[in-house]
Structure 1
């Protein structure tokens, strides 16, 4: 494999990017001033529209057993009861009780109406101390989908113009430019030209038709070029008919993360329309946990009709190719003991578990599973845009320690990830905690183990 990015280049890029990410709050424009009454009314409209019969049943089903607290790493890391996941639905429940419940006529006299101060206090609970990882959903005996309802709470706060400055900066930038971190078309083409030179072959961009549409993200363009380069090298090796689009390459979706419904649907529709235009059978999203649900489940919603293409992550696409024999990988001469982090949206929500494990097995690495793994895997502690929120740093560190404690018990020498946001959070967590375990991209690992001879055609 041609080395796409050296360790020194990656360290320098990480230092630059970390500095840029830390300044987002200061770069954000002043928030629009809105009367408190308007904020409350806007939030209520989101709740009243979004609480259907299914959510109403779930809101009534909670018996406050506390099981969800034991599933949440922010609660486990702080032991503060206010971070119990179901408490993040309290405002939503109050609106439901007063306005929609069968006893609303009575509860209007008993349950307090929500206020703008309640909404401001809610920011910490649904943005800072929740990554919508869904681990709490699995343990709830009543089957309450807390994560999806937290997403609705984010939408309510976004409508009330109360999203965190960092996420608002990212959402507004993507709404205006279509990408993130200033990774515009010029930078995209510059990076692709640099990758072409290193890889030694032409990268297909803007082919009119292709079986596969490959998507990257501003995070990889700026920082994790080894992930993008590894994906491209493997697709080339397999002989896949693929293309990237210079007008639809951004897989990140800060509408989804911030709760801004307009931007969420706009970004999903942009990628979906590009896939339809090129006739893609598969869209491969980058190593980005939220890019996966944003398109896999958001494409049809954004277009208002079913779509004829599959959405797969890098680990899923190449893992399936390994499992059915279309992709052969070379084994290392010496096995390496590794731990694997399953990104929440890709694993717990998408069911992609065996594919990355098949890849590690194919290259002869010895996987030591964390105590909580697969569907019960702990989040990295910084997903859903949380890793960008400055005021959430103490909570991120608490969540990171819960996760890293399980990784340390495996005695692994390397941590393998398949999500750039997770990778970023682990790298930042390592700096703050003084940890030294290397964190490596699965896409880059795959490319490093391609056979020297021509691979099988996809």
Structure 2
């Protein structure tokens, strides 16, 4: 399938059956348990930023279990065995698509309040595969996946463009930015959002790596950390993107692969890549905040104090689902002299509204902007001058929504801020 997605109304009977069969094939192990375990208690609703913003019951996270649950019931109930259980229909697929793609960032906030600890994020990721199988899903999300496969990145950052931009950034900033070193201890990856929209983040990473004396390189073999194959439910493309990074790391002998300021890229490579490849990764995967925190603990990075007031937005896939909640705060320790936590914060912080590929969906913009009002309220209550984060996707989401609301609060990258204050 190409990036030209279609509507559920266009599906043939055979395609509807194919989607239903794919849903059924996904039911197994923990997912089957999740469909049986939901208590219909509704606690997840108040934890969801989409429900919080819209007040619409359809945005209750538990409702996202329905596609898988319907397929599951056909396989385990007596009515299903007799062929009498309701079938998945075009109307079902049309209704579910918005819930599975447009109004779920797979942030995992619902799971932390669920009394049964149902991982709805993983169910949504699996369910997207059934839609992708028959060409459903937002066209712009599918196009980003196609670009990743065919051109190297969702924004068309080809290997040639990567080389050109690195040369430009190195010259413009009088900075050594290694590309394709024969051997290196660390393979640093990029997010094309950073390279194309926030290039100073690339400069910041390079400056910090060099200041710490790290042995590192970028690679034109595997450089793009974002994985729109995973986000769009297209497993073949997800695997291709992981294989490129793995091949690059093996080629350079890297012991560590560092993911830049991108939440879902970290989640996919850190927690899903080995399962997708079907073998252990021959290297450690760290988010850039984890790697820099390790360098700071080792005494290899020191910073001049930053005197302005700051608050930190926790990217869901880095903090709540990634386990690196405290690393950013350690980097801010003894650096940010006026750091102010949001309420709630850490693993319970609200999502920016653009994760899970939602930021890339033009049709989801109105709901995404509504969700961002939650973040605006959080920031304003801290009284902090600057909002920082460690995810370029969050940053892009916040910048676009801030422009929509004419919200002039200052926003910045944690990495760029640290790089501006590193003691070389």
Relative to the length of structure 2, the TM-score reads 0.95
Distance, in Å, in 2 between the alignment partners of 1:341 and 1:350 is 14
Contact 1:227 1:442 in 2 (8 A): no
Q: Deviations over 1:338-362 (max 9, x none)?
A: 1101111111111111111111123
| Map of 1:8 onto structure 2 | none
| Map of 1:290 onto structure 2 | 264
Counterpart selection for 2:41 from 50, 65, 88: 65
| Map of 2:282 onto structure 1 | 308
Cα distance, 1:28 vs structure 2: 5.8
Contact 2:146 2:154 in 1 (8 A): no
| Map of 2:417 onto structure 1 | 445
| Map of 2:20 onto structure 1 | 44
Cα distance, 1:30 vs structure 2: 6.6
Aligned to 1:290, the other structure's residue is in SS state: helix
Cα distance, 1:107 vs structure 2: 8.3
| Map of 1:157 onto structure 2 | 131
State how many pairs are aligned.
Answer: 422
Alignment of structure 1 residues 179-218 onto 2, 5 Å:
179-218=153-192
Distance, in Å, in 1 between the alignment partners of 2:126 and 2:380 is 35
Contact 2:175 2:207 in 1 (8 A): no
Q: Deviations over 1:51-110 (max 9, x none)?
A: 1132212211112110000100110111110100111121211110111x254547853x
| Map of 1:435 onto structure 2 | 407
Distance, in Å, in 2 between the alignment partners of 1:275 and 1:32 is 40
Contact 1:120 1:162 in 2 (8 A): no
Distance, in Å, in 2 between the alignment partners of 1:28 and 1:61 is 36
Aligned to 1:399, the other structure's residue is in SS state: helix
Moved more, 247-256 or 364-373: 364-373
Indicate how the Cα distance of structure 1 residues 385 and 218 shifts in structure 2: closer, same or farther if over 3 A, else same: same
Unmatched 5+ residue regions in structure 2?
Answer: none
Cα distance, 1:286 vs structure 2: 1.4
Indicate how the Cα distance of structure 1 residues 193 and 355 shifts in structure 2: closer, same or farther if over 3 A, else same: same
Cα distance, 1:447 vs structure 2: 0.7
Indicate how the Cα distance of structure 1 residues 302 and 95 shifts in structure 2: closer, same or farther if over 3 A, else same: closer
Distance, in Å, in 1 between the alignment partners of 2:396 and 2:133 is 29
Q: Deviations over 1:292-346 (max 9, x none)?
A: 12211233123321122111111111122223433211213xx221110111111
Cα distance, 1:35 vs structure 2: 3.9
Distance, in Å, in 2 between the alignment partners of 1:365 and 1:321 is 21
Indicate how the Cα distance of structure 1 residues 144 and 32 shifts in structure 2: closer, same or farther if over 3 A, else same: closer
| Map of 2:197 onto structure 1 | 223
| Map of 1:17 onto structure 2 | none
| Map of 1:77 onto structure 2 | 53
Unmatched 5+ residue regions in structure 1?
Answer: 1-26, 453-458
Distance, in Å, in 1 between the alignment partners of 2:55 and 2:32 is 29
Tell me whether 1:56 sits opposite 2:32 in the alignment.
Answer: yes
Tell me whether 1:426 sits opposite 2:372 in the alignment.
Answer: no
Distance, in Å, in 2 between the alignment partners of 1:103 and 1:273 is 48
Contact 2:212 2:295 in 1 (8 A): no
| Map of 1:124 onto structure 2 | 98
Alignment RMSD (CA, Å): 1.9
